A and B are shown apart, each in its own frame.
Chain A
Amino acid sequence: MMITMKMAVRNIARRKVRSLITILGVAIGISAVVGVSSVAKGLQHDIRVAIGGSASLIVKSKTAPDPLSSALDQSVEEKVRRVPGVQRTVAVWFNNRVVTIGNRRTPIMIAAVEGGQYDFVVGSKVQPIRGRLPRDGEAALGSLVWNQMRPRVGDPVDLSGVRLRLAGEFRTSSQLANMCMITTLNSVKPLRGNGISCVFVQTRDPRRVKREIERRVPGVEAIETSKAVHNMVNSLRTVEVAGLVLSCIAGLVGGLGVANTMLMSVLERRREIGVMKAVGATKARVMKVFLMESLLISLAGGALGCLIGTAGTYALVQVIQKFKGKPITVCVTPDVILEGFLVAAGIGVLSGLYPAWKAAKVDPVKALRHE
């Protein structure tokens, strides 16, 4: 075993230029695989963060056309929470109502969020730009309504007899939310009684949990939220498919290089093959010798490809960030590297098979005849 290994290494080392070109061919392919995989992994990571940080399902009354006009009893939340796969629930009460602040009166959409978990419901960061986010007994205005009403922090807010304190102004990336007033679910208890509008749900598996909720809780419909997550999942698919196609092409090109090199090697070493057979090598053994060599070339290409792929991906990300100013997540995880090596090993074995079989078929008598 040691000796056949030495033979393989020395044969590769002996034809330096040819081996190097072949190894580079594989390396370029593998670096593409590693690059695409780590970008896909980064996207996956982003999506996981996005899904983890906001709701992925909204449970509303089956009869209501949308969550804003839905009406449910608050006991529904408890039932939803017990559905397997549900990680977190937040009840929300939406109500459109005339609000009085100081001497100004205007109808505003109120979003009363359980426990003040505003980020979760809005799906992006709710940023206080004046004062703070409302606690029980408080309310805050979105930047658009704030500009319209021009109140002061601490002003009393009157909602049909319920009095709250104005805690501040906020802004989010959603313009719709910027036109709302937010408060906690407890703050509006006298107005809503036991009623809520809908329940925001966090889960890793929206499809399945949606069906589960609709099966177990009567009279509700669960809708999948965040378009953003959908878009991200779609772009992930695109990247994954592109990655797969790219890997196949890269693998094919690298593999053809290895096959060509190995075929040349078999032709040049016919006499050596004859000798191996004369001293007792079986066909299987001859195949192994050549497969070992193509595997070594490919794995060397794999190692180099992982290096180039990792370095190249980080370098590219730096450049893109500089121009677009938008951070891109890439994850060069151990399994990305492992994938690179596996593809390389696959290339080595597959492209080595035909040359190795050719080698095994060499007629020792013809190979050993002196010309």
Chain B
Amino acid sequence: MTDPVIELENVRKVYDSGSTRVEALKGVNLRVRRGEFLMVVGPSGSGKSTLLHIMGALDTPTSGRVRIAGREISRLSDRELARIRSRYVGFVFQEFNLIETLTALENVMFPMTLAGREDEELAKRLLLKVGLSEEHFDKFPNQLSGGERQRVAIARALANDPEVILADEPTGQLDTRNSRRIIKVFRRLSDEGKTVVVVTHDLSLIEWADRVIVLRDGQIVEEGSPEEVSP
């Protein structure tokens, strides 16, 4: 239980689009511990999303080492990276990013399909677990409220029982009441043993985390418990 779930060593990420060159991450060292609830905060453009994408094998660093589930990702093929995203991590996004042509239930089953093990009963249980009532299961995303959509997205992230949930501003499009509800879902998942990483710039949420990292200009400038980090 001591080995880190995700380990970043001197990770740099440079976006080079010809004329402009942005250094989104400037040497980040980070270990995500098994079972912890980690929050990454920082101003807009500080590199939070970039960091999260790299942690979930959705993006690769320009330099530095990334180990996910003990495997160095720079050596992995498209198939193996896809496998990590399918089985080991679960992403949740600010815009919910549900597939519009699939119902709530089908959205949760989609990652199962990709992994080759569809289980409708499990998908239903996951939806109930994140607090979506059964009447919504067969609705399409555009028939659901923001809070409901984000619940579906969380259930989808849980579909293949991943080790880590990676959430990028999951409450960014929700009102305060719904934000609190959603963050409580993450807290409960963490209490049940899942590793949870949540990116946010809503500082009122950090009290729910075990550990907080403050990112500024692509660098970790502060790290500690919510109390330590709070201004």
Residue positions of A touching B, CB distance < 8 A: 1-4, 6-7, 10-11, 14, 271-272, 274-285, 364-365, 368-370
Contact = CB atoms under 8 A, between A and B. Distances in A.
B86 A283 contact: no
Contact of B111 (A1, A7, A280, A370): A280
Given A1-B113, A4-B113, A282 B93 contact: no
25 contacts: A1-B113, A2-B118, A3-B113, A4-B113, A6-B101, A7-B102, A10-B101, A10-B102, A275-B97, A276-B110, A278-B91, A279-B90, A279-B114, A279-B156, A279-B157, A280-B87, A280-B111, A280-B114, A280-B160, A281-B86, A282-B79, A283-B82, A284-B79, A364-B58, A368-B97
A365 B82 CA distance: 14
Interface of B: 49-50, 53, 56, 58-59, 78-79, 82-83, 85-87, 90-91, 93-95, 97-102, 106, 109-111, 113-115, 118, 156-157, 159-160
B101 A280 contact: no
Contacts of A1: 113
Contacts of B82: 277, 280-283, 285
A283 B83 CA distance: 12
Contact of A365 (B53, B95, B98, B106): B53
B59 A280 contact: no
B114 A281 contact: yes
A275 B99 contact: yes
Contacts of A369: 49
A271 B101 contact: no
B56 A278 contact: yes
A370 B94 CA distance: 8
Contacts of B50: 365
Counting from the closest, the 8 A-B pairs by CB-CB distance are A280-B86, A10-B101, A282-B82, A279-B111, A280-B85, A280-B114, A278-B91, A275-B97
B101 A279 contact: no
Contacts of B102: 3, 6-7, 10
B93 A279 contact: no
B86 A279 contact: yes
Contacts of A365: 50, 53, 58-59
Given A280-B160, A285-B114, A6 B85 contact: no
Contact of A6 (B87, B90, B106): B106
